[in-house]
Amino acid sequence: MFRIRHFIFLLLAALLFAGSASAQTPPKTAAPADAAAPAPAQPAPEITMATLRAQAALLPDTVNADEDLAKLNEVTDQLSGQVERFVAQRTARLADLNARLGELGPAPSSANAEDADVTRQRNALTKERNGIDADIRLARLLAVNAQQQRSELLAERRAVFEAQLFERSETPLRSGFWDKAIAQWPTDRDRLQHLFDGVMRGLSGAGKQWQLGLGALASAAAAVLLLWLLERGLTSVAARFFPAGRLRRSLLALLTVAVYVVVVGGIATLTWSWLEESGDWNTQSTRLGVNLVRLSMYLAFVVGLGRSLLSNARPSWRLPPISDDLAARLGPLPWLMVIATLAFGLPVIVNDVIGAPLNSVLTNLLPTATFMLASLAGLLLMRVRTVSVEKDASPDASAQDRSGASAAASAPTPAERPVWVGLLLGLVAVLLVALVVLVLVGYLAFARVLSGQAAWTGVVVASAYLLFKFADDLWMALLSSRSHSGQRLQRATGIAPQLLDQIAVLLSALSRAAVFFYMLIAFVAPLGSSPGQLLERSGRVTGSLKIGEFVIVPTAIATAVAVLVLGVIGLRLFKRWLENSFLPHTQFEPGMRSSITTLMGYVGLVVVVAFALSALGVGVNRIAWVASALSVGIGFGLQAIVQNFISGLILLAERPVKVGDWVVLDTAEGDIRRINVRATEIELWDRSTLIVPNSEFITKTVRNMTLANPDGRVLIRLPMPLTTDARAARDLMMSACVEHESVLEDPAPLVRLDAVENGLLVFVMIAYVASPRMVAEVRSDLLFAVLDRLQAAQLPLAVFVAQPGTAAAIQPMPPQAVAEPSPTPPLSAAAPTSATAGRAGPGVA
């Protein structure tokens, strides 16, 4: 733990270093007042053929170093951009000249057939057009030549690299290898001494040795202190302010890596800037300083990545599924990677600075041996298994152990090791064996490249794992239906929870695919490759992919998907605003509001799909061809679908039925809940949903119970014997209707004697309710009430009784039968009591 005196000491050291830096920095001359004023914007110079030729002349003839490769790519890209702008400018002028020549028409066969001014004008326009066309062709030829030259130079560099990679030298087991290295050492020593003298000359201008040493210690102490404080501060901030769940773990790990890179890179950059301004540095020492700053940032990235993934200080925040003991034992692994990276990076940097390779011992053997030792140390760390001893809480445990009664129970049990750990151990062991064989055979360059790529692969895989976790946790925290933001988005847009989860999973998969794509690109990148080179490689890969006549452009696909997703979300927000904010303030009824919202949704979806196709590169002419092809399909197999679609539009426009109407279609009777583009949903009395094609409402007879009158009618038919007191029965039925709270007073209920059939009096009871949806419930209540009143008044109903050998006879049902119902008779003996419901209307029985 850092104490207060440690903090004060480090602070004083940092202030002393800053004071010495300011004292050694030469004063700068103040700029004049008018120099600070911004210069007026100059118009972009016109691109001419001379400009293009001058740009093409800047292409390097050879590509030996990374700077030459960067210059080659930069000059080629600039030339391609200038050619595109040049061709665009000249194409507009060429189109104008062709239009003017078209107005003049073709030259006549006879020279005297037209005016001399017209002929002179045609000749001038033709000459200018031919010159512009020749310039366009020449400019495109320059761009093609530049691309070919870049391809040839890259192919030559790959060939040289492969030749050097698989070049076989003397084996280190023979004395010839060491004799050659010893013979080359004086030359290497002179080059290194020249580089060292340049560095010391640059440092001499920055101060004395004790000041530089103190400044280096202060910089290192400041970096350690800042990292310690920021790491603890990030943990506290993450625990208090980051959203609960897995996102806070992956986000904290990602921010930890960023903090390491920013702090170390910032301090290294500031230190080098001060040293560069204070001292006299030559070209080699300047390149060395810049490369060392980049190397320090990469080393900080490796250490931050290892600490964030292992997370030994906070095991509950650890991302990989490893035990605490294994994570603690792997704690030195990031520092082993730092040592291996230094062994690889320093020879490469020195070779690049001095412009000539050092001897094979320093360039190939030493980095490979360092990597092998680091890998062996990591292998030993991972081979140690976690053991846990079961402790007995009884006081006689030691006696039992001595007697051997519980020796098996108290024996240490090895913890189960993850499968990926075993696979990693196997790969490392195989790699070590392969490196030993390559070194002993003499392929030192190949062994160095293989070990370097193995270390780079480990860093890339660890970085990809962190990004995989972060991408998955980010989308799940933002869009999952179980997260707070997802629930707010669901309430704002009305998206179903399942759809939100599907979108989150889909975006997580796309993000992981993008990370995997860049991981594959990084695998083939050299150690310490800059982000610009990585993006340049990805730009070339993601430009376009041609398969036969089809050209696949990943950026266009991503744009189309983004337009489609954003368009659908915006359409849902617009429909929600239209339904909840705008339409309620209009005079439209609820059914008309629902129809307008649905119709606007269809129109908006068509517009969104059209924009997505346009972003994908599908023009209007191609859409016309697709429509033509669909028309042929419509003629054969899509007639029913199109018919239902058109019928749905007619229903939304003419509105013979609307949402909320009670309709009767054939034997179906229910409430319209939704009118879709193909079918209409009807909710029946038993809460089930009947899906009816829209064409049924156009081609068949539909009874709309609530179109003109929303009242519902309850109709009950009761057969009674001829001996029944008809007036008393009518009064009982009328009292049951009047006393029911749901029966309307206007129109008033009525009971009438409808007919005398087969020796029966048929009574018809009609009552009106507020809605057809109440008919079934009110009819049941009235039947119960009428039967109770008939029983109390001892007025019998009529039943069918089938006697053997005779026809069915009608007999009166005594009151006792009503009080004590008999078992359910067969269907042929059912009582002829019927009840139907319908819309109120004059003269309807």
How many helices (H) does the chain have, and how many strands (E)? Answer: 26, 15
For the chain, what is the radius of gyration of the CA atoms?
A: 45
Give the per-residue pLDDT at 185: 84
Instruction: Find the distance separating the first CA and the last CA of the chain, reported in whole Å.
Output: 96
In the numeric block, which tokens belong to residue 461?
């895989």
Give the per-residue pLDDT at 369: 86
pLDDT at 590 over 50: yes
Q: Number of structural domains, the chain?
A: 4
Co-location of 319 and 378 in the same domain:
yes
pLDDT at 400 over 50: no
- Classify residue 469: in a domain, yes or no: yes
Window from 312-326, 623-637, 785-799 with minimum mean pLDDT: 623-637
Give the per-residue pLDDT at 301: 92
pLDDT at 820 over 70: no
- Classify residue 815: in a domain, yes or no: yes
Co-location of 161 and 297 in the same domain:
no
Task: pLDDT band for 112, please (50, 70, 90 cuts).
Answer: low
Co-location of 669 and 806 in the same domain:
no
Listed in sequence order, the residues at least 6 apart from 104 whose beta carbon sits closer than 8 Å to its beta carbon are 118, 121, 122, 125
- Classify residue 539: in a domain, yes or no: no
Residue 565 is which amino acid?
Answer: V
Co-location of 190 and 256 in the same domain:
yes
Q: Which one of 19-23, 298-302, 437-441, 660-664 scores highest in mean pLDDT? A: 298-302
Q: CA 586, 587, 592, 594: dihedral to nearest 10 degrees?
A: 30
Please state whether 711 falls in left (phi above 0), alpha (psi between -120 and 50) or beta: beta
Q: Choose one of 707, 732, 761: the last residue of a domain.
A: 707
pLDDT at 6 over 70: no
Give the per-residue pLDDT at 21: 39
Average pLDDT over the chain, rounded to whole? 74
Pairing status of strand 679-684 against strand 689-693: antiparallel
Give the per-residue pLDDT at 653: 72
Co-location of 683 and 719 in the same domain:
no
CATH number at residue 727: 3.30.70.100
CATH number at residue 699: 2.30.30.60
Co-location of 346 and 447 in the same domain:
yes
Give the per-residue pLDDT at 409: 42
Listed in sequence order, the residues at least 6 apart from 529 whose beta carbon sits closer than 8 Å to its beta carbon are 522
| Mean pLDDT calculated for residue range 633-640 | 64
Residue 639 is which amino acid?
Answer: Q
Can you give the residue range of the structural domain that contains 375?
178-204+242-386+417-523
∠ at Cα 794 (793, 798), nearest 5°?
125
For tokens 């009080």, the residue is 819
| Mean pLDDT calculated for residue range 452-462 | 86
Q: Using N-to-C axis directions, what is the helix angle for 247-278 and 175-204, rounded to 10°?
A: 70
Collapsing DSSP states into helix, strand and coil, what is residue 800?
A: strand
224, with CB counted inside 10 A (0-12, 13-18, 19+), is: middle
Window from 40-49, 113-122, 288-297, 721-730 with minimum mean pLDDT: 40-49
Task: pLDDT band for 791, please (50, 70, 90 cuts).
Answer: confident
In the numeric block, which tokens belong to residue 193?
């001494």
17, with CB counted inside 10 A (0-12, 13-18, 19+), is: buried
Q: Choose one of 474, 497, 523: the last residue of a domain.
A: 523
What is the DSSP track for 350-367?
A: HHHHHSS---HIIIIIHH
- Classify residue 135: in a domain, yes or no: yes
Window from 354-368, 389-403, 528-542, 750-764 with minimum mean pLDDT: 389-403
Q: Which one of 122-126, 449-453, 464-468, 773-777 scores highest in mean pLDDT? A: 464-468
For residues 822 and 594, the model is more confident at: 594
Window from 298-307, 337-346, 581-590, 775-784 with minimum mean pLDDT: 581-590
- Classify residue 336: in a domain, yes or no: yes
| Mean pLDDT calculated for residue range 799-820 | 46
pLDDT at 8 over 70: no
pLDDT tens, position by position, 739-756: 888 888 888 888 888 888
For residues 564 and 22, the model is more confident at: 564
Co-location of 160 and 191 in the same domain:
no
Give the per-residue pLDDT at 163: 66
Give the C-alpha separation, 606 to 564, whole Å: 11
Co-location of 431 and 518 in the same domain:
yes
| Mean pLDDT calculated for residue range 574-603 | 78
pLDDT at 44 over 60: no
- Classify residue 635: in a domain, yes or no: no
What whole-number percentage of the chain has pLDDT above 70? 73
Task: pLDDT band for 64, please (50, 70, 90 cuts).
Answer: low
Co-location of 514 and 437 in the same domain:
yes
Give the C-alpha separation, 71 to 153, whole Å: 12
User: C-alpha distances in angstroms, 532 versus 537, 588, 709?
Assistant: 9, 59, 74
Task: pLDDT band for 167, please (50, 70, 90 cuts).
Answer: confident
- Classify residue 719: in a domain, yes or no: yes
pLDDT tens, position by position, 420-440: 677 777 888 888 888 888 888
Co-location of 146 and 269 in the same domain:
no
Co-location of 456 and 492 in the same domain:
yes
Give the per-residue pLDDT at 24: 37
What whole-number percentage of the chain has pLDDT above 90? 2
- Classify residue 566: in a domain, yes or no: no
Residue 106: φ, ψ to 5°: -70, 155
Q: Choose one of 707, 732, 755: the last residue of a domain.
A: 707
In the numeric block, which tokens belong to residue 305?
């990545």
pLDDT at 726 over 80: yes
Co-location of 357 and 505 in the same domain:
yes
What is the DSSP track for 644-695?
A: HHHHHHHHHHH-SS-TT-EEEETTEEEEEEEE-SSEEEEEETTS-EEEEEHH
User: C-alpha distances in angstroms, 337 versus 266, 343, 839?
Assistant: 22, 10, 85
Give the C-alpha separation, 735 to 787, whole Å: 12
Among 692, 628, 626, which Cα is nearest to 664's?
Answer: 692
CB environment 410-439: b (16+ within 10 A), e (fewer): eeeeeeebeeeeeebeeebeebbeebeebb
Window from 89-93, 395-399, 518-522 with minimum mean pLDDT: 395-399
